[in-house]
Amino acid sequence: MNRPLGIAVIGTGKMGADHVRRIDRAVSGARVVAVADLDAERVKDLASRIEGCTAYTDPVAAMAAPGVDAVLIASPGPAHEAALLEAFARDLPVLCEKPLTPDSASALRVLEAEQRLGHRRVQVGFMRRYDAEYLRLKSLLDSGEFGRPLFLHCRHRNASSPSFFTTRMLINDSVVHEVDAARWLLAQEITAVSVLRPMPSSAAPEGLRDPQLVLLETSGGAIVDVEIFVNCGFGYQVQCEAVCEAGSARIGDGHAMVTQAAGRWGGEIPQDYVVRFADAYDRQVQRWVDATRQGRVEGPSSWDGYAAAAVCEAGVRAQETGARASVELIGLPALYR
């Protein structure tokens, strides 16, 4: 492809609007030609800032707009299946923000529809796979230098949760990132989930069981523990320590700059994911654009989105029953091997 990739962005909330800005200002080889959102005023305002961009309230109309070569889906999860199937009908490459879909049944329908096409079209937006620290940890584990991984110790903390945040969302919207990161880092499937729930923090809104400790068992015999704490009060923090047979490695300490003044030393903690993973988002979209222009699809697949949905369903069952929940997956289709 000799001209810039024309992209339709579906969903212009916080994440979608950030992707529009990213494609317009930070990514080479692409341009936003259409944006769609149910909020007519918001999408019209966003489109007015991008030369040659048209606003729509209907995702189908946006995908059918002149010059659209690919689709970036950043709408709420329940709307993803319909948008993905429409993209498949047009054989358009897709970067779909997580979740692929909100549950394994709908994810399986997407998986089956993509297989009927006979080729991959979807990259799922698990951006941690593009973060510099996660990439270094992945390289180390793949090298085998420290032997077999035994544990992953993960922390996922947010300063505060939005008013609509529910206890299930601790798993489906937050721990889902650790689910994908663990599967990718270890190259193993997750086979079972347990959830431990301490007394809720006094900072947690009424009815939100926050924090929690999520335990993931893997097909290779590793254990992953995730502290999820979405009202920690001090900032956004994501950390991961891999403990192997002959060594350990930790990422996420955030030692970018340390200041010393007035008898104290310290640094800054990012306040949200858009700041912490800004470079990862940039790298993810650039890699998607580059691959798409070359006629390739890479990165997290529909299978990865389906597997994450199945693990999260087991996690919610464990959360609600207090019992260990097994993860049920179909066999890996040939398209994703």
Tokens 């994703």 sit on residue: 336
Same structural domain, 23 and 93: yes
CA atoms 278, 279, 280, 284: torsion sign: positive
Query: Tell me, what CATH number does 283's domain have?
Result: 3.40.50.720
Strands lying side by side in the sheet with 149-157: 247-251, 237-244, 149-157, 223-229, 212-218, 190-196, 325-326
What pLDDT, on the 0 to 100 scale, is given for residue 255? Answer: 60
What pLDDT, on the 0 to 100 scale, is given for residue 1? Answer: 74
What pLDDT, on the 0 to 100 scale, is given for residue 160? Answer: 96
Q: Which domain holds residue 94?
A: 5-128+279-300
Q: Which of 242, 246, 250, 197 is nearest to 222 (CA)?
A: 242
Query: Tell me, what CATH number does 252's domain have?
Result: 3.30.360.10
Beta strands in the chain (DSSP E): 5-10, 30-36, 54-56, 70-73, 94-97, 122-125, 149-157, 190-196, 212-218, 223-229, 237-244, 247-251, 259-261, 264-266, 325-326
CA pair distance 217, 182, nearest whole angstrom: 10
What pLDDT, on the 0 to 100 scale, is given for residue 269? Answer: 75
What pLDDT, on the 0 to 100 scale, is given for residue 257? Answer: 65
Per-residue pLDDT tens over the stretch 85-136: 999 999 999 999 999 999 999 999 999 999 999 999 999 999 999 999 999 9
Same structural domain, 107 and 166: no
Same structural domain, 111 and 145: no
What pLDDT, on the 0 to 100 scale, is given for residue 256? Answer: 60
Number of domains in the chain: 2
Q: Indicate whether this model's pTM tops 0.85.
A: yes
The half-sphere exposure of 301 on its side-chain side, counting CA atoms within 13 A, is 17
What pLDDT, on the 0 to 100 scale, is given for residue 186? Answer: 98
Same structural domain, 241 and 316: yes
Q: Is residue 15 a contact partner of residue 74, using CB atoms and an 8 Å limit?
A: yes
Spell out, as residue ranges, where the chain has pLDDT lower than 70: 255-258, 274
Per-residue pLDDT tens over the stretch 258-276: 677 788 877 777 777 767 8
Same structural domain, 286 and 224: no
